């Protein structure tokens, strides 16, 4: 999938899921767009999926991944499974149990549970970040798993990890850092690199976020000037929600093959549910001793609407990233 995206000049939307309705919305979108795509689980998403009594981020991620494996069999597109933003404190209780789960599946003659994982060591010094990244990449390589790494900081807040107070210069990865990442990890296994160029998690009004996509261009050039054209890295765009189309498309020319989308699809899922509740309040609620309307308060009724709303927004992302109509399902 990554090779096809680089060759074709497009990127995949990578959507965070937390439940069966969000998984089904993602699969619906990719199938209707005839686009391959990436479904990913964060530490917070995994913890949520395991239930409010269990709160086990790795267990929840396994449950969601197993569901995707079974459901995706009914669709004529390829879907990669990925985990998002594993910070150093969660490596032992999230990333390593998931690597162990894939190892167990492979020993049983099954395919990988996840196709790729992300280690986000951006809160560390670059040297410490890459030391851990190198160790994890070697473990991933042995399981035919791709590792995504990040240098620089994505601003804003996601799953309780708040970087809104970091200094502005931390939001931009330097060409020197990109060269260091390449030289440290090249040859150890396949990796994706989330270089930061002003990205911010969350939703903001136009003009509030100052992206500098040329940072990706300059960093790639520094790498390929030193190591040749084959050294061009697979880049990841974090904080993609709310980004103007022209800036999204610009990044595709600099080697971006994956763009994370979470905030916009969360809203697209919740908006029709809120609409359902507000328009049908007297049926959803048992007001003044009445019995309400079971058809209106049955969660299936409004969760279907959320699934369809999410799918519509994700299909837009496929269009924005030029992945629409580019599935390689059946061709590999």
Catalytic residues, which ones? 84
Q: Tokens for 201?
A: 């998690």
For 29, residues 6+ apart whose C-beta sits below 8 A from its C-beta are 35, 37, 310, 311, 312, 313, 314, 315, 318
The answer to whether the CB of 332 falls within 8 A of the CB of 2 is no
For residue 332, give the 3-state DSSP assignment: coil
Residue in the block written with tokens 């959507």: 15
Q: At what angle do helices 175-185 and 214-227 cross, to 10 degrees?
A: 50
- State the helix-helix crossing angle for 299-320 and 245-252, rounded to 10 degrees: 60
CB 303, CB 277: distance < 8 Å: no
Among candidate residues 320, 322, 321, 269, the one with its CA nearest the CA of residue 19: 269
- The DSSP H or E segment spanning 302 is helix 299-320
């Amino acid at each position: 999938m990554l090779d096809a995206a680089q060759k074709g000049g497009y990127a995949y939307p990578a959507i965070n899921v937390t439940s069966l309705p969000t998984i089904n919305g993602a699969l619906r979108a990719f199938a209707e767009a005839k686009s391959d795509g990436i479904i990913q689980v964060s530490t917070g998403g995994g913890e949520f999926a395991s239930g409010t009594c269990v709160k086990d981020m790795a267990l929840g991620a396994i449950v969601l991944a197993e569901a995707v494996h079974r459901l995706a069999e009914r669709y004529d597109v390829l879907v990669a499974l990925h985990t998002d933003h594993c910070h150093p404190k969660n490596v032992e209780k999230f990333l390593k149990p998931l690597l162990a789960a894939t190892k167990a599946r492979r020993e049983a003659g099954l395919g990988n549970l996840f196709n790729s994982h992300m280690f986000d060591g951006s809160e560390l010094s670059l040297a410490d970040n890459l030391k851990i990244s190198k160790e994890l990449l070697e473990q991933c390589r042995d399981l035919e798993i791709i590792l995504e790494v990040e240098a620089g900081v994505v601003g804003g807040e996601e799953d309780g990890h708040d970087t809104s107070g970091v200094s502005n210069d931390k939001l931009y990865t330097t060409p020197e850092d990109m060269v260091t990442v390449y030289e440290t990890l090249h040859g150890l296994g396949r990796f994706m690199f989330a270089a930061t160029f002003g990205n911010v998690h969350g939703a903001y009004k136009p003009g509030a976020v100052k992206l500098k996509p040329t940072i990706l261009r300059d960093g790639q050039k520094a790498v390929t000037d030193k190591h040749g054209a084959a050294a061009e890295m697979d880049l990841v765009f974090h904080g993609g929600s709310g980004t103007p189309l022209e800036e999204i498309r610009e990044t595709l020319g600099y080697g971006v093959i994956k763009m994370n989308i979470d905030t916009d699809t969360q809203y697209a899922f919740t908006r029709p549910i809120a609409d359902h509740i507000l328009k049908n309040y007297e049926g959803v609620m048992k007001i003044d001793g009445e019995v309400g309307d079971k058809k209106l308060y049955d969660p299936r009724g409004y969760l279907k609407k959320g699934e369809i709303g999410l799918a519509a927004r994700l299909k837009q992302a496929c269009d924005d990233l030029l992945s629409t109509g580019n599935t390689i399902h059946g061709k590999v």
